[in-house]
């Protein structure tokens, strides 16, 4: 048993040695429970930007989303993320399971995952942090990292604007 644990630690350490990661952060003017609902419910998930969304909140569950309303969930432009872990109302870890057909990065996404953490700050404010991990150093991975760095900041901005305008999850 100890050998298996050491082997697993060695594999994880070796895998992480060449990975590139980054994090986006922003403070949202809302209590942590309200911000959690944005990430953990189908209706709330639309605040992030998609026109269509469905959240199956469980380990191994799927978050399906589609940024344009001119289709249906499950079609070729649907994004599917698998929920790796979650701890309400503070953390959710996701991994892309399926990209839209039009997604330009055909391979780089396969080794990545994202950890979203919510931390209460002050009274009724929440720090949202999206840490993106597992990016390679090849050209496609670098381009995709830039795409997600900008996209994740836009998503956090969407959540900030939603609550700043009095929106409820």
Strand residues in 29-105 grouped as ranges (E): 52-55, 62-66, 79-87, 91-98
Say how many Å lie between the first and final Cα of the chain, rounded. 45
Output the pLDDT for position 122.
86
d(CA 136, CA 106): 13
**Which pTM was predicted?**
0.87
pLDDT band at 3 (very low <50, low <70, confident <90, very high): very low
Q: Which of 163, 148, 166 is nearest to 38 (CA)?
A: 163
**For position 20, what pLDDT does the model report?**
67
pLDDT in tens, 12-41: 433 454 566 999 999 999 999 999 999 999
Q: Evaluate if residue 4 carries a pLDDT over 60.
A: no
Secondary structure of 22-36 in the HEC alphabet?
A: EEEEEEECCCHHHHH
| Interval 92-150: pLDDT, tens | 999 999 999 999 999 999 999 999 999 999 889 999 999 999 999 999 999 999 999 99
For residues 3 and 151, what is the distance between their CA atoms, to the nearest angstrom? 41
Nearest to 164 by CA among 124, 132, 133, 136: 124
Say if residue 45's pLDDT is above 80.
yes
Q: Cβ(20)–Cβ(43) under 8 Å?
A: no
In the chain, what are the domains?
A: 19-164 (3.30.530.20)
């Amino acid at each position: 048993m100890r050998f298996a644990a050491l082997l697993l630690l060695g594999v994880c350490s070796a895998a992480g040695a060449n990975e590139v990661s980054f994090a986006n952060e922003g403070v949202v003017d809302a209590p942590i429970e309200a911000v959690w609902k944005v990430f953990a419910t189908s209706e709330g998930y639309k605040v992030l930007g998609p026109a269509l969304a469905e959240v199956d909140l469980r380990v191994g569950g799927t978050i399906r989303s589609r940024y344009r309303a001119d289709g249906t969930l499950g079609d070729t432009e649907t994004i599917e993320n698998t929920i790796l872990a979650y701890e309400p109302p503070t953390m959710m870890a996701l991994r892309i399971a399926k990209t839209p057909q039009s997604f330009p990065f055909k391979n780089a996404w396969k080794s990545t995952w994202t950890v979203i953490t919510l931390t209460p700050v002050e009274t009724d404010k929440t720090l949202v942090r999206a840490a993106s991990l597992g990016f390679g150093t090849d050209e496609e991975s670098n381009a995709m990292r830039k795409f997600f760095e900008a996209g994740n900041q836009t998503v956090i901005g969407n959540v900030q604007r939603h609550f700043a305008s009095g929106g409820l999850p």
